[in-house]
Amino acid sequence: MLAFLGRSIALGLITAIIVLIAVPDLRPTTPVSLSLPDSGSTPLSFNYAVRRASPAVVNIYNRRYDNSNSEERELRTQGLGSGVIMSDKGYIVTNYHVVAHADQIIVALQDGRVLNAQLIGLDQLTDLAVLKINADNLPVIPVNPQYKAAVGDVVLAIGNPYNLGQTTTFGIISATGRSGMSFYGPQDFLQTDAAINKGNSGGALVNTRGELVGINTASFQQATNIETYGISFAIPYQLTIKIMQKLIADGRVIRGWIGIQGREINPLMARLYDVAKVNGIIVDGMDPTGPASKAGFKKNDIVIEIAGKEVTNVQSVRDIVTDIRPGTHIQVKILRDGKPMMIPVTVANRPPMTNPPK
């Protein structure tokens, strides 16, 4: 009997050993550790970008004379916004709508200094303005000329919403090349879901290295008079720098203008118009007193080249013509009824906008 039990136990042990060898998953494993992560690990943070960019973002207070009391005129704060120090010489960029109607402009730096600002120039079309302050040791916003905003880039909006004090919000670039997003014209904007509220206008939109991506603007919300959530806009920094330099040089932006409206040509339209070349715009309207009308342009002409530069879309026409000094004589290459033609045009000064917003 004992011999039988011994053989049974031995046979069971041998079987168990064979099963464990054949099926490794049945072997006991080391217990999973539930200890906390290493205390030395660093959490994801954009603190570096904020520390690098935020000193160059200022608070701007728009003050106007209150004429309600005929016996005494009193300066009162009428609006607020933000600005960005672009140069150690004291040049600050902000939005046109922040300072356009100010009698006095006050700038508050993050280091506690409060200074009067001189208005250098305004550009209503891009909703940009340039101010100047006289001070030493000014922080300047970092700029990377090689950076090009792309959808999905992480961005931070820095400004002074509702006069709460400097605030940073977080989001991504939602879209690029948005046009018609303000009162001012068909300028290209960056769209972001970083929160931009009243007071953020004129502040900085920066990337995760603290480099300037654009100048925040709330003009879309003002123009549409609606609340928007997750839809904010900024003026690209390349356009900002270009306009800033022109305002510093001339006090205003001098733009070329030929007075045509057009729409982009696509492969289907190229087939309808029986042209092999796809790039260009089709003229679908003209200012009756503009240079293009006087030069003999006709509706449905296809503009393919201006002053020796190839036309790719409607924005390229604006960019090319805007940079030509008024009074300059240029040649515009068109296709009319499928045949190439050169039309001489004298570039004019862009007429001022009417009914500016208050």
Is 260 annotated among the ligand-binding residues? yes
Is residue 45 part of the annotated active site? The answer reads: no
Active-site residue among 54, 82, 182, 201? Answer: 201
Helices (H), the chain: 2-22, 47-53, 96-99, 219-224, 237-250, 267-272, 291-295, 314-322
Domain span at residue 339 reads 256-349
Q: How far apart are CA 132 and CA 253, in angstroms?
A: 17
- Position 266 scores a pLDDT of 64
Mean pLDDT to the nearest integer, 64-69: 74
284 and 341 co-located in one domain: yes
Is 210 annotated among the ligand-binding residues? no
163 has pLDDT over 50: yes
277 has pLDDT over 90: no
Instruction: Say which CATH number the domain at 286 has.
Output: 2.30.42.10
Mean pLDDT to the nearest integer, 168-179: 87
Is residue 182 part of the annotated active site? The answer reads: no
- Position 342 scores a pLDDT of 94
Task: Report if residue 10 sits inside a domain.
Answer: no
Summarised one tens digit per residue, pLDDT across range 252-265 is 888 899 999 888 77
Residue type, 26: L
Last residue of a domain, one of 97, 132, 167: 132
Is residue 316 part of the annotated active site? The answer reads: no
Q: How far apart are CA 184 and CA 223, in angstroms?
A: 9
211 and 260 co-located in one domain: no
Task: Report if residue 355 sits inside a domain.
Answer: no
Is 180 annotated among the ligand-binding residues? no
Query: Positive or negative CA dihedral for 267, 272, 273, 274?
Result: positive
Last residue of a domain, one of 186, 207, 238: 238
User: 23 or 99, which is more confident?
Assistant: 99
Active-site residue among 54, 82, 123, 127? Answer: 127
- Position 184 scores a pLDDT of 44
Query: Coil, strand or helix: which one is 319?
Result: helix
Task: Report if residue 31 sits inside a domain.
Answer: no
170 and 226 co-located in one domain: yes
pTM of this prediction? 0.75
Is 18 annotated among the ligand-binding residues? no
Instruction: Say which CATH number the domain at 227 has.
Output: 2.40.10.10
Task: Report if residue 7 sits inside a domain.
Answer: no
51 has pLDDT over 70: yes
343 and 264 co-located in one domain: yes
- Position 126 scores a pLDDT of 87
Q: How far apart are CA 318 and CA 320, in angstroms?
A: 6
Q: How far apart are CA 160 and CA 199, in angstroms?
A: 5
Q: Which two tokens stand for residue 280?
A: 């260009």
- Position 357 scores a pLDDT of 44
Query: Quick one: pLDDT band at residue 356, thresholds 50, 70, 90?
Result: very low
Lowest mean pLDDT among 26-30, 100-104, 212-216, 319-323: 26-30
213 and 271 co-located in one domain: no
Query: Positive or negative CA dihedral for 15, 20, 26, 32?
Result: positive
Query: Quick one: pLDDT band at residue 39, thresholds 50, 70, 90?
Result: low
166 and 126 co-located in one domain: no
Count of the separate structural domains present in the chain: 3
Task: Report if residue 142 sits inside a domain.
Answer: no
Is 280 annotated among the ligand-binding residues? no
Query: Coil, strand or helix: which one is 180?
Result: coil
205 and 287 co-located in one domain: no
Active-site residue among 97, 123, 188, 232? Answer: 97
Task: Report if residue 357 sits inside a domain.
Answer: no
User: 325 or 29, which is more confident?
Assistant: 325
125 has pLDDT over 60: yes
**Displacement of CA 296 from its chain's centroid (Å):** 37
Taking Cα atoms as reference points, which of 116, 112, 218 lies closest to residue 161? 218
Query: Quick one: pLDDT band at residue 227, thresholds 50, 70, 90?
Result: low
281 and 323 co-located in one domain: yes
Lowest mean pLDDT among 80-89, 184-193, 237-246: 184-193
- Of the chain, the end-to-end C-alpha distance in Å amounts to 109
Q: In the block, which residue shows the tokens 């997750």?
A: 230
Task: Report if residue 39 sits inside a domain.
Answer: no
Last residue of a domain, one of 179, 207, 238: 238
Task: Report if residue 340 sits inside a domain.
Answer: yes
Mean pLDDT to the nearest integer, 69-75: 65
Q: Compute the mean pLDDT over every residue in the chain, rounded to the nearest whole number.
A: 82
123 and 197 co-located in one domain: no
230 and 271 co-located in one domain: no
Mean pLDDT to the nearest integer, 51-69: 88
Is 263 annotated among the ligand-binding residues? yes
- Position 315 scores a pLDDT of 79
- Position 136 scores a pLDDT of 94
